[in-house]
A and B are shown apart, each in its own frame.
Chain A
Amino acid sequence: MPWLDLLLGFTLCVTAGLALIARDMFRAVIMFIVFGLLMAVAWVRLQAPDIALAEAAIGAGLTGVLLLDTLGYLRRPFGSRVDNPEDRS
């Protein structure tokens, strides 16, 4: 059994799902960037280095930056209630 591929496919679905259900926008975008990175690895497993190159530059790079830039534009108080776990209690 191709365990590596199975785990990769599973992780892809998990990151995609998390990116979609995250309530915090920033969390969703970071999950999406990670998803892009995993897609690049998936293309490698599919013997498609050309697509992996494109995905690495685009999916994990430019699209992520565009989305982050948009988040900065939205200027919302992004999640994160505390900076210091000490203060959490």
Chain B
Amino acid sequence: MILRAVFAGLLCLGVTVALGWAVLERPAPVENLPERVAAAMPESGVEHPITAVLLNFRSYDTLLEIAVLLLAVVVALALREAQPDRPEQMGLDNPLLRAVMAWLLPLMLVVAGFLLWAGAHQPGGAFQAGSVLAAAGVLLRLAGVTADWLDNAVLVRAGLALGLLTFLGIGMLVMLPGVPFLTYPAAHAGTLILVIELTLTLSIGLTLLSLFRLNPPYADDPDDARAQEAPKP
């Protein structure tokens, strides 16, 4: 154990020193990518450079990234089916908490929508909006609110797949005039990106939520659900 720590320490020291050396000796780059991005912005269909990079210039990366996210859920689904679980453990069913959630969650929805909408011209975008959406779902579960439609496997899977399928479909459809994959026509780029982002937001939100849900939960603590607000003897 100590040997292992010493070894790890030496290795990390070496790596850190090497990295420091690399940082110090770094040459100044010739290529100026930010300038290229700025020059291409008018054709991108959005006004915010990061969204342009994520969903237009380098949208192929984003496509694969969403696939990674979906993959994690697929594995979680597979493992869940391999070892069926006891009923899912919900959260804390507290009336005050519920009341707070009833106000907080619509606000979160509006903020998620705002982040999605904002992505076109200021910081924000599908991923951020999706995470807020997922957080809303997680809060809902932690507050013990059940949503029946989340138990509908077909619906959930359709929701999971929606974003990626739309993205892929649009990427293929735009090829019809004979241009490469994912080449949005400049005139419609903004609309197409918005459609992609909208579906991606829903799918990312659902994906992150599923990753939380599909962890094998433990069975309900009997003492938790029933004796919520019972007076203590």
Contact = CB atoms under 8 A, between A and B. Distances in A.
Interface of A: 49-50, 52-54, 57-58, 61-62, 65-66, 69-70, 73, 75
Nearest to A70: B215
A53 to B, nearest CB: 4
Contact of A62 (B115, B125, B138, B218): B138
A58 B134 CA distance: 10
B132 A49 contact: no
B116 to A, nearest CB: 12
A53 B135 contact: no
A50 B50 contact: yes
A61 B125 CA distance: 17
| Number of chain B interface residues as a range | 10 to 19
Contacts of B127: 54
B128 interface: yes
B212 A66 contact: yes
Contacts, number: 40
Contacts of B115: 53
Interface in B72-128: 115, 123-125, 127-128
B17 to A, nearest CB: 16
A66 B138 CA distance: 10
A53 B128 contact: yes
A69 B212 contact: yes
A75 B218 CA distance: 10
Contact of B215 (A49, A58, A61, A69): A69
B211 interface: yes
A62 B212 contact: yes
Given A53-B124, A54-B128, A57-B135, 12 more contacts: A49-B123, A50-B123, A50-B124, A53-B128, A54-B131, A57-B128, A61-B131, A62-B138, A62-B212, A66-B211, A69-B212, A73-B218
B198 interface: no
A73 B115 CA distance: 33
Contacts of B50: 50
Interface string B139-150: 000100000000
A50 B138 contact: no
